[in-house]
Amino acid sequence: MVNKIDKGGVLRLLAYNSAHNLNNTPVIDELVNECILEAENASQFRYIYKIFDINGCKLEGTDIYLNSRDIKAHLEGSSKCLVLAATIGVGVDRLISKYEITNITKAVIIDACGSVAAERAQTKAISEAAQALMSNKGMGCNFMTSQYSPGYGDFPISMQNKIIDILQAQKTIGLTVTENHIMIPRKSITSLTGISGQAVSGKLSGCKNCVLYNKCKFKKN
Amino acid sequence: MKKDLISQLNKQTLILDGAMGTMLQNVGLPAGSLPELLSLTNPDIVYNIHKAYIDAGSDIIYSNTFGANPYKLSGSGHTTKEIVSRSIEIAKSAASDKYVALDIGPIGQLLEPNGLLTFEDAIDIFKEIMAAGENADLIAIETMADLYEVKAAIIASKEVFMGTQKPVFVTMTIEENKRTFLGCSLDEIACYLNAAGVDAIGLNCSLGPVELKPIIEGLCKKTSLPVILKPNAGLPDPITGQYNIGAEMFSSLLNEIYFKGVSIFGGCCGTTPDYIKAIAHNLKGRAIVPRGVYEKPAVCSSTKTVYLDSVKLIGERINPTGKKLLKEAIKTKNMGYIIKQGLAQVDSGADILDVNIGLPEIDEAGLIPIVIKSLQKTIDSPLQIDSSDVGALEAGLRVYNGKPIVNSVNGDSENLDKILPLVKKYGSAVIGLTLDKNGIPESAEGRYKIAEKILNAALSHAIKKEDVYIDCLTLTASAQQKEVMETIKAVRLIKEGLGLKTVLGVSNVSFGLPNRELINSAFLTMALANGLDLPIINPNNKTIMDYVHAYKVLSNSDVSAEAYIKKFSVNALSDGAPVDPGQTKGIMSLNSAIISGIPMEAEIATKELLKTESELNIVDSYLIKALDIVGKKFEAGELFLPQLLLSAEAAQSAFETLKNNMALNGTTAAPKGKIILATVKGDIHDIGKNIVKALLQNYGYEIFDLGKDVPPEEITKCAISNNIKLIGLSALMTTTIKNMQETIYALRKSGHDCKIVVGGAVLTEEYAKMIGADYYAKDAMATVDIARATL
């Protein structure tokens, strides 16, 4: 099922750890399951991507320049860049806003569910893009880096607006961005992935490269 | 020009143009840049594209103005007026005797409640575009996913072109699941647009003709308006961006669709003059295939349509008459309370909600938009706007997202002349009361005559017959006993004689009698059997609802009694949901109910305590003590956030119980202190703020929740006018922290003496100091400690 939400991921985002005593609140486990189900039903998975040649610091055919140190390092050795946006739609936003009035606990849990679903949407979109790329022999795309998103490192979050524009994301997947660079639907992800004929890994993605690695409660490893 | 086009619309097929963006990209327009700027920088390129479409056979071309709005053009150095008027000029010069449509796409920012753009600002943006494009022959609103944005554009067109009757085309963009990105289905599209006073409706973009064929056929069955189809050239290859359907194939697919009754054809992304040439060859100037559609009576919100094809229930509970807590909520603008009243009725089976907030001491026209916006944000059932104040009716109608019901007009000509134009302008249905200046006619025939007058007046305002519902008026059996049957008789007469839907408020009939439920239920059953379509009732009343369920079986609308059996069979009664621990036990102490996070138990325990203890004592000796235990466990890492919140909800439910009790006794509790909470301007993350609010309320503080995206002025104003000493600000983005700093600056500058506490994911203790806050709260419990220390 496309919208399947992993419970472990939801609990991680709720900062749950083994020291917590679930017995204190007998209904909590069932409540999390219920929220996952509601969030899955409210999610509409959509994505859009385009592939651009990297020409120095520029994405060819756009007016996007990749001048920041971190994104340059991440895309080093890549000849093309996969620009992607994925979303689970406004359904989960609406659920959250309803529960913020009627049941704040569920609002918080569904918020976490939405974030997990958005990550999953991106992973799924990337794997579908990878498949399409591999089957297109002319592209010479044998290797991909991991994903890098606006707001990571010194890659400015304002890049969000540019990405939405070049992908025509409002028209194609209903994704917009505010003047303060907040995406709506909220549970959406944009990313850049380097593509190359030779092995590249992307230097700066994953929790370990994050400046907050030592103090973050939500990290994956 | 208009007359010509309108008459052609209903006579023969018309050919639109194909893509503009695709053509511009073919000549090197970079991805992500604004095609509309080319109207100024390279008018020849734009002209040549228009000309190519005219030469290919277009009857109507769309100007190069899809994204020409103040939002998208900001930073371009050019105004909307400049670009729109120049683009229309270019299109007109290419069009010669053909029509030019002012093309309007989505603004690019989502409207409230999904996004931050207010409905009023959206109307202003569309007005600016339309005023600049006044020389166009028609308005084409396209690629829309949000019915609210469409409504803003339609209102703008009516206000800009008042009296000039410029035709308006509306096309939505829809996915294969037959809904738009914002969840609006073909039902809502047709329901709202059929009533909105536009000239043609349809679909464009998103998919190719193969995928859109079944969808447009569905739309053709729901509207009698001319239908437009403007598909993409198939689906794009994700890697190359090339579309998969050629011009000939495209044309032959559209030809098949023509036979379903679509009469206006064009192309969207990926189509070129070759495509238009091919469809013009097949489809230009042909007779329209008749559809013989009857538009079913219906009302809708933006995501839900209620067809009036069987008895539908209107919930009456959002009406302050005789309801102390609701009156209080209206006066203090406590939207949470009002929304909960709505949700409870929907859960009990209401199909439509009546909304009446009339109180002598409030500004009804000022408040009703806030109430309507709050309700439609969380509840998808259509609303009925109920007011005797014309200003309030219009204010409510204007902001309603969908097709509502106006409650009401009456047979007085002056009243009809005032209200019917609003019903028409905003695309609503209307209830007509069978009374006039002389009061309520005693006889059914007298009421029939007034109903007939109301119907004729509505028709003369171009309101459709199926959108007029008649209320024959329920009289009180204890005072006007012999006229009760006249009401029932009038229902039948009007239903059969005029073919109109009928409405009745039921509860009035039993006023002043004992066992009112019995009288109400009997009267309801009699009225239903005589043709009542829309009873206005209290859906939270089980007896009344049981009679409705029974009626649906007996009248054969609950076919095979399926719903009835599901509800009432022995199995259904005993085999309910697994029993929630504590849901009905009533054996827990308030202390353990709160610690275990079970609201129902907390309520029962509180009621039990109220037998022997005062409200204040319960708060201090039980509630807050239990919350402190939970708070400590949370801080010690023994509980995680959802557990803390469950306890907060249990405490909240205990609080509500105490509050209800006090309202009954006519007493109130002095709050521990007043606190403002707000998410700063530009930021929309309000869940953290709402968590803080829930906890602070538990500790007895009065919260002024200003919501999200709140400008500094509003916070300062509220702080000063309510003399609030603690202000909590939330921001979650590095980009909105600057607005937090500005808010703190504004508060300090105002000279108002207050403490400021800030929180949010990107903040730290040092950062909070740097931007001038008094306190940094790392989580919601920390805010409680700060409130206790400062207030």
Q: What is the pLDDT of residues B723-769, one digit of tens each?
A: 999 999 999 888 889 999 999 999 999 999 999 999 998 899 999 99
Contacts of B712 (CB under 8 A, 6+ apart): B680, B681, B739, B742, B743, B745, B746, B747
Nearest CA to A184 out of B715, B758, B145, B712 is that of: B145
Burial class (CB in 10 A: 0-12, 13-18, 19+), B661: middle
pLDDT at B3 over 90: no
Residue B579 pLDDT = 41
Long-range pairs for B174-178 at CB < 8 Å and ≥24 separation? B174/B203, B174/B206, B174/B207, B174/B212, B174/B215, B175/B206, B175/B207, B176/B207, B176/B211, B176/B215, B177/A44, B178/B215, B178/B218
Q: How far is B756 from chain A (nearest CA, A)?
A: 23
Residue that has been written with the tokens 């102490």 in this structure? B589
Q: Is the pLDDT of residue B576 over 60?
A: no
- Residue in A101, A180, A182 closest to B378 by CB: A101
Could you list the beta-strand ranges (E) of chain A: 46-55, 58-59, 80-87, 143-148, 176-177, 183-184, 188-196
How far apart, in whole angstroms, are the C-alpha atoms of residue B541 and residue B543? 6
Task: Give the span between the Cα atoms of B730 and B713, in whole angstroms.
Answer: 16
Residue ranges of A 17-76 with Cβ closer than 8 A to chain B: 17, 19-22, 24-28, 31-32, 44, 46, 49-52, 61-64
Per DSSP, the residues of A71-104 read HHHHHTT-SEEEEEEEE--SHHHHHHHHHHHH-H
Identify any residues that bridge with A50 across adjacent strands, giving them in sequence order.
A83
Q: Match 């992307």 to its residue by tokens.
A: A202
pLDDT digits (tens, 9 = 90+) for B437-448: 999 999 999 999
**Of how many residues is chain B composed?**
791
Residue A154 confidence (pLDDT): 85
Distance CA B273, CA B23 (A): 9
For residue A131, give how far its alpha carbon lies from the nearest alpha carbon of chain B (Å).
Answer: 11
pLDDT in tens, A42-98: 999 999 999 999 988 889 988 888 888 888 888 888 999 999 999 999 999 999 999
Contact B642 A14 (CB under 8 A): yes
Residue located via tokens 């969380």: B378
Whether B411 contacts B435, CB under 8 Å: yes
In the block, residue with structure tokens 């994704």:
A175
In this structure, are residues B426 and B420 in contact, taking their beta carbons and an 8 Å threshold? no
Is the reported ipTM for this assembly greater than 0.85? yes
C-alpha to C-alpha distances, B36 to A131, A163, B58, B76, B79, nearest whole angstrom: 36, 19, 21, 10, 11
Chain B positions touching A105 (Cβ under 8 A) are: 597, 642, 645-646, 648-649
Is residue B354 scored above 80 in pLDDT? yes
In the DSSP assignment, the letter for residue B509 is: G
Considering only CB atoms, which chain A residues are within 8 Å of B690? 100, 104, 107
The phi and psi torsions of B675 (rounded to 5 degrees) equal: -135, 135
Q: Give Cα B164 to chain centroid, integer Å.
A: 29
Helices (H), B555-623: 562-568, 570-574, 590-596, 599-610, 615-618
* Interface residue A129 vs chain B (CB under 8 A): yes
Distance from CA of A220 to the nearest CA of B (A): 18
pLDDT at B580: 42
**DSSP character for B234?**
S
Contact (CB, 8 A) for B39 and B62:
no
In this prediction, residue A74 carries a pLDDT of 87
Work out the mean pLDDT of chain B and round it to a whole number: 93
Q: Express each pLDDT in B166-187 by its tens digit.
A: 999 999 999 999 999 999 999 9
Q: What gap in Å lies between CA B105 and CA B112, rounded to an integer?
A: 17
Q: Is A127 on the interface with B (CB under 8 A)?
A: no
B85-89: long-range contacts, CB 8 A cutoff, minimum separation 24: B85/B132, B85/B133, B85/B135, B86/B39, B86/B40, B86/B43, B87/B36, B87/B39, B87/B46, B87/B63, B87/B133, B88/B63, B88/B132, B88/B133, B88/B135, B88/B136, B89/B135
Q: Show the tokens assigned to B42.
A: 């390279």
How many Cα atoms are found within 13 Å in the side-chain-facing hemisphere of B718? 20
Residue B265 has pLDDT above 90, yes or no: yes
Q: Give the Cα separation of B543 and A13 in Å (integer).
A: 45
Q: Which residues have C-beta within 8 Å of that of residue B414, sequence separation ≥ 6?
A: none
Q: Which residues does chain A have with pLDDT short of 50?
A: none
CB-CB contact of B400 with B352 (8 Å): no
Q: Residue B664 — very low, low, confident or very high, per pLDDT cuts 50/70/90?
A: confident
Chain B residues with CB under 8 Å of A165 CB are: 31-32
Going by C-alpha positions, the residue among B183, B223, B181, B182 that lies closest to residue B202 is B223
The phi and psi torsions of B506 (rounded to 5 degrees) equal: -95, -40
Percent over 90 (pLDDT), chain B: 83
**Which pLDDT does position B114 carry in this prediction?**
92
CA B532 to chain centre: 27
Distance of CA A49 to the CA centre of its chain: 13
Task: Kindly write down the DSSP assignment for every residue of B86-114, as one continuous string.
Answer: HHHHHHHHHHTTSEEEEEE---SSPBTTT
Measure the CA–CA gap between B564 and B546, rounded to whole angstroms: 9
- Domains of chain A are 7-209 (3.40.109.40)
**Tokens for B60?**
């109507």
Q: Do B580 and A27 touch (CB under 8 A)?
A: yes
DSSP-assigned letter for residue B619: I
What type of residue sits at position B250? F
- Nearest CA-CA distance, residue A200 and chain B, Å: 20
- Under DSSP, the state recorded for B621 is I
pLDDT band at B577, cuts 50/70/90?
Answer: very low
Over its C-alpha atoms, chain A yields an Rg (Å, rounded) of 18
- Residues in B closer than 8 angstroms to A182, CB to CB, are 683-685, 733
pLDDT number for residue B351:
98
Q: Could you report the per-residue pLDDT of B310-332, keeping only the tens digit for each? A: 999 999 999 999 898 899 999 98
Residue B396 has pLDDT above 50, yes or no: yes
In A, minimum Cα distance to B145 occurs at A174
Interface test with A, best of B171, B649, B735, B764 (most A CBs within 10 A): B735
Chain A nearest-CA residue for B579: A27
Question: Are B388 and B145 a contacting pair, CB within 8 Å?
Answer: no
The alpha-carbon radius of gyration of chain B (Å, integer) is 30
- Sequence-distant (6+) residues with CB within 8 A of A12 are A218, A220
The per-residue pLDDT for B401 is 98
3-state SS string for B680-707: ECCCCCCHHHHHHHHHHHHCCCEEEECC
Does the pLDDT of residue B455 top 80, yes or no? Answer: yes
Q: Give the pLDDT confidence score for residue A206 in this predicted structure.
A: 64
Spatial distance between the Cα atoms of B69 and B78, rounded to a whole number of angstroms: 10
Q: Are B93 and B163 in contact (CB under 8 A)?
A: no
Query: What is the total residue count of chain A?
Result: 221
The 10s digit of each residue's pLDDT in B679-728 is 999 998 889 999 999 999 988 899 999 999 999 999 999 999 999 999 99
Task: State whether residue B30 sits within 8 Å of chain A by CB.
Answer: yes
A20 to B238: CB separation less than 8 angstroms, yes or no: no
* Residue B258, token pair as written in the block: 């023509």
B611-B617-B623 Cα angle (round to 5): 95
Cβ-count burial B70-106 (b if 16+ within 10 Å, e if not) = ebbbeeeebebebbbbbbbbbbbebbeebbbbbbbbb
The tally of CA atoms less than 13 A away on the side-chain side of residue B14 is 22
A180 and B683 in contact by Cβ < 8 A?
A: yes
Question: What pLDDT is recorded for position A221?
Answer: 58
- Within 10 angstroms of residue B611's Cβ, the number of other Cβ atoms is 6
CB B343 within 8 A of CB B336: no
**Read out DSSP for A121-148?**
HHHHHHHHHHHHHHH-GGG---EEEEEE
Is B115 touching A (CB cutoff 8 A)? yes
**Residue B574, pLDDT score:** 47
Count other Cβ atoms within 10 Å, centred on residue B482. 9
What domains appear along chain B, each with residue ranges and CATH number? 2-283 (3.20.20.330), 298-540 (3.20.20.20), 590-665 (1.10.1240.10), 674-790 (3.40.50.280)
Instruction: Among B115, B238, B595, select the one facing A184 at the smallest CB separation.
Output: B115
> Mean per-residue pLDDT for B139-145?
98
Nearest CA in chain A to B635: A20
Report the candidate in B164, B137, B140 with the shortest Cα–Cα distance to residue B154. B140
Amino acid at B447: R
Contact A184 B643 (CB under 8 A): no
Which pLDDT score, from 0 to 100, does residue B2 have? 42
Within 8 A of B177 by CB-CB distance, chain A residues are 44
